[in-house]
Structure 1
Amino acid sequence: MTADGERPWLFVYAVAAFIYRTTVSIAIASFIATQYFVFGVLLAGLALFGTVVSPLVKGLKFILTDPKLNRRRSRAVTLTSAATGAVLALLFVVPLPYTTMAQGVVWAPDDTQIRTKTDGILTTLLVEPGRDAQAGEALAALEDPSLDSRVAVLEAQLAELRLRYDAARLGDRVQAQILQEQIASTQEILRVYRERQAGLIVRASQAGRLIVPGAVDLPGRYLRRGERIGYVLTADDPVVRVVVPQTDVDLIRSRTQGVAARLAEKPEEVRAGSILREVPGAQQEIPSLALATQGGGTIAVDASNPQKPVALQSIFVFDVQLAGGLPFNVLGERVYIRFDHGAEPIAWRALRSLRQVFLSQFRV
C-alpha cells in the first residue's frame, strides 16, 4: 500500500538507485582494472550481469510465465515490445544533431608577426601603428651601443691584420699563412656582427597594416632577440586558433560538415567559418592563457610551470577562417566555436565515448 503522492517519489528513487549502483560498480571495476586488468574485467562483467542482465531476465520471465498476467499476457507482451522498440529506435535509429564545442582566440599567423632579429633598446617606431606598410619598409629602430663599438673594433683589427699580411707575405710565408687565417676568421666574425647591426632596423616581411599592441610603452624598452613587436596584417590574415582535446580531434578531422563561431564581444552574432589548417601533431603548449581554466577557458594547465602555460593532457590546434574576415582590433579575443557533425543516434555517441574512456583509462 502506498499513500497519495508516494508513487512518483518511489519511481524516482528506483531510477536513482539503479543509476547509483551502476555508477559505483563501474567506478570500482575501473579502479581495480587499472591495477589488475583481469580481475577488473571479471568484476565489470559481474556488475553488468547484476545491474542489467539479471533484471531483464526477471522482467521477461514475469511477462512470459507469471500467472498474474494469464488474462492480459498478450497485451503485456505487446506493450513491452512496443516500449522496447521505441526506446531502441530512439537510441540507435533516430538521428539527433551532433556538434562539438571548443574555444579559441583570434590569432595572427606566425609569418605576420614582427620580431626583433637582435637584442637592443627600441628607440622609435618609424611607421605609425595603424598605417599601411610596404614589404621591406623599415618599421622600428633599435639601439645597441656595445654592438656599434664591437663592429668598429673588429674593422680596426681587420685593417691591421691586412697591413701585417701585406708586410709578411713576401718575407715570411709561414707568418703570412697564419695572418691569412686570422683575417678569414675576423671577417666571419665581422660579418655576423654586421648582420646583427643591420638587424637593429626592423623591417616588414610583407605589405599590410601595421598593428602594434601597447605601442606607447615600447620606446625605451629593451627587447630580446625574437621578441614580438607587433604584426603586419592583411584583411585575410587573422584566424581563430582553436584548441581541442585529444578525445575530439578524430571527430573534428573526419566528420566536420560546418563551422560556426561567436566572438565573446558579440555573442549574439553567429559567423560561418571553415577549417583552414591543422597544426600537425599533438602538443601541450597552450597558444593563449585565455584558453586555460585560469583565464576562463576549458584547458587544465600544469600549475608547476607558471612561466609558460602547459596543458596537463595533449591538445590539438586548428586554425579556423571566418567568412568576411576579422577586424584587427580583436586580436587575442576569445571565440566560441561549434563544429557541426551532422546527425547521429545517441547510442553510437555513447559507445564512442565509452571506447575513448577505455583507451585512455587503460592506455591501450
Structure 2
Amino acid sequence: KKSESPARTRSEAVWLAVYGVASGVYRVIVFGGILLVVADHFFLIGIVMAAACFISWITVPVGKFIHYLTSSPKLDRQRPRAFAVSLTMVALVLGVLQFVPFPSHFRAPGVMQAQQWTQVVNETAGHLTELLAPPGKLVSAGQPLVRLRSVELELELAQARASKVEVETRLRTALARETADLKPMRSMLETATNRVAKLLADQMALIVRARHDGLWVAPELNDSVGRWLPRGTSLGLLVNPTGFQFTATVKQEEAAALFARKLAGAEVRLYGQVGDVLETHRWTVVPGGQGVLPSPALGWHAGGEMPVTRDDPHGVKSAEPFFEVHAELGADERIAFLHGRSGKIRFEQEWEPLLPRWIRSLRQLLQKRYQL
C-alpha cells in the first residue's frame, strides 16, 4: 500500500510531525506514571506491564524498521546506503547523548530565615495579662515582652516561704537545746530553700524577655490576652533583620550532585518575586540526614514538595531523611526579606552528558521505590 500524507501544506506537515512526536512523549509519560503507581502496589503486575510496553514501544518498532531495511523492495538499489545512513544516525544520536556535555542543575525547596532568630515561649504557665512590647517593633536583648500571672504559683510560693520559716524556727530551737543530730533538720532547710529559689525563678519567668536584639513578631498574641497559657506555649518570633539565609531541603536522590560533583554556583528565587534572582556563592551543608523540616510550608500538608509523616499534626516531620543546606543571602533592595518566605534554590553543576544522567536517575528511582 502507498501511504499518503494527510497534510495539504508544508506548515500542516510540520504541525503533524510535531504532534506525532509530542503525543508519543505524552503517552510514555502517562503510561510511565501508571506503571509506577501499579508497581508500588502490585510489583509483579507492574513488571509485566512494563515488559509489555517495552515490547510494543521499542522491540516491535525496531524490529519493523530492521525488517524494512533488510527486505523492503523499495531499498533494493539503495540498501547499503540506507544501512549506512541509519547506522550513522543511531551512532550520532548515541554519541551526542553519551559524550556531548549539556548544562546541568537541580533545584531544592526552602525558606528564607534570619541568621539569628528564636521562638519565644513562656517558661512558666500562667494567664497572659499584658503585652509589654507591641508586636512589630524592634526590641533589645533583655527587654520585657509580655507579662503573665499565676495565682497558683503565688500560693505555692507563700506556702514554701512559710515552710522555710518553720524549718528555720525548728532548727534554732534544736540548736538552743543542743540536740545531737541536726543533719536531718539541715537537710530539710536546704530542701525548703531550694524550693523557694525555684518558685522565685518561676515567678521571674512570668515576665518573658527578649533573648537578643531583633524584631518582635507576634501578630495573634493580642487575642490571647487573659487566656491561660501552658508552659512552652509559642508566643511569637524574635527575628534579627540584619542578616538572612536560605535554608534548603535537598532530597536523597540529589545527594550525589550535592557532595560528589562540583557546584559552580547557586541562585534563589522566592515565591511572589520569581522574576528577581538572589545570587549566592557561599553555602554550607549540615552533616548527616535531617528529619525535621525547617518550616511546615515545605511539607505536603501545606502544599510543599517534601513528604511528611501522617501522624505529625504540625507537618514538619519528614517521611524520609534529607540534607539541609544554608545559603547566605546578600542585601538586595528589590527583595522583601521576611523570615519564613518560601522559594527555591537552583544549584548549577558542571556540564554533563544526558545519557549518564538519565541512567543515574533511573537507577535512583528503582533503588528508592523498589530497593533494586
Fold shared per TM-score above 0.5 = yes
**In 2, distance between residues paired with 1:259 and 1:14?**
35
Aligned counterpart, 1:316 = 323
Contact 1:238 1:325 in 2 (8 A): no
Aligned counterpart, 2:217 = 211
**In 1, distance between residues paired with 2:153 and 2:310?**
39
Structure 1 unaligned runs (5+)? none
Contact 1:235 1:325 in 2 (8 A): no
Aligned counterpart, 1:72 = 78
Contact 2:126 2:150 in 1 (8 A): yes
The Cα shift of 1:351 comes to 1.2
Contact 2:309 2:318 in 1 (8 A): yes
Give aligned-pair identity as a percent. 25
**In 2, distance between residues paired with 1:109 and 1:157?**
47
Picking from 145, 150, 155, the partner of 1:149 is 155
Q: Which stretch shifts more, 323-332 or 189-198?
A: 323-332
**In 2, distance between residues paired with 1:296 and 1:32?**
25
**In 2, distance between residues paired with 1:31 and 1:303?**
18
Q: Which stretch shifts more, 322-331 or 132-141?
A: 322-331
Aligned counterpart, 1:4 = 5
User: Is the partner of 1:213 in helix, strand or coil?
Assistant: coil
Contact 2:69 2:82 in 1 (8 A): yes
Aligned counterpart, 2:368 = 360
Aligned counterpart, 1:272 = 279
**In 1, distance between residues paired with 2:236 and 2:23?**
62
**In 2, distance between residues paired with 1:47 and 1:262?**
39
Query: For 1:12-35, what per-residue CA distance to the aligned partner results, in whole angstroms no more than 9, with x for missing partners?
Result: 699679959x96998699679967
Aligned counterpart, 2:94 = 88
**In 1, distance between residues paired with 2:36 and 2:273?**
42
The Cα shift of 1:164 comes to 0.6
Contact 2:119 2:237 in 1 (8 A): yes
- Indicate how the Cα distance of structure 1 residues 301 and 142 shifts in structure 2: closer, same or farther if over 3 A, else same: same
The Cα shift of 1:157 comes to 1.0
Contact 1:133 1:207 in 2 (8 A): yes
- Indicate how the Cα distance of structure 1 residues 142 and 280 shifts in structure 2: closer, same or farther if over 3 A, else same: farther
Q: For residue 343 of structure 2, what is the amino acid of its counterpart?
A: V
Aligned counterpart, 1:259 = 266
User: Is the partner of 1:351 in helix, strand or coil?
Assistant: helix
**In 2, distance between residues paired with 1:27 and 1:333?**
33
**In 2, distance between residues paired with 1:68 and 1:329?**
68
Q: For residue 213 of structure 1, what is the amino acid of its counterpart?
A: P
Aligned counterpart, 1:348 = 356
**In 1, distance between residues paired with 2:128 and 2:32?**
61
Query: For 1:152-196, what per-residue CA distance to the aligned partner results, in whole angstroms no more than 9, with x for missing partners?
Result: 22122112101111211343223x222111112222222222222
Aligned counterpart, 2:295 = 288
- Indicate how the Cα distance of structure 1 residues 362 and 263 shifts in structure 2: closer, same or farther if over 3 A, else same: closer
The Cα shift of 1:67 comes to 8.2
**In 2, distance between residues paired with 1:331 and 1:212?**
13
1:225 and 2:231 equivalent? yes
User: Is the partner of 2:135 in helix, strand or coil?
Assistant: coil
User: Is the partner of 1:112 in helix, strand or coil?
Assistant: strand
Aligned counterpart, 1:115 = 121
Q: For residue 5 of structure 1, what is the amino acid of its counterpart?
A: P
Aligned counterpart, 1:171 = 178
**In 2, distance between residues paired with 1:153 and 1:53?**
87
The Cα shift of 1:68 comes to 6.5
Structure 2 unaligned runs (5+)? 8-12
Contact 1:63 1:76 in 2 (8 A): yes
The count of aligned residue pairs is 360
**In 1, distance between residues paired with 2:75 and 2:139?**
87
Alignment RMSD: 4.1
**In 2, distance between residues paired with 1:246 and 1:134?**
41
The Cα shift of 1:348 comes to 1.6
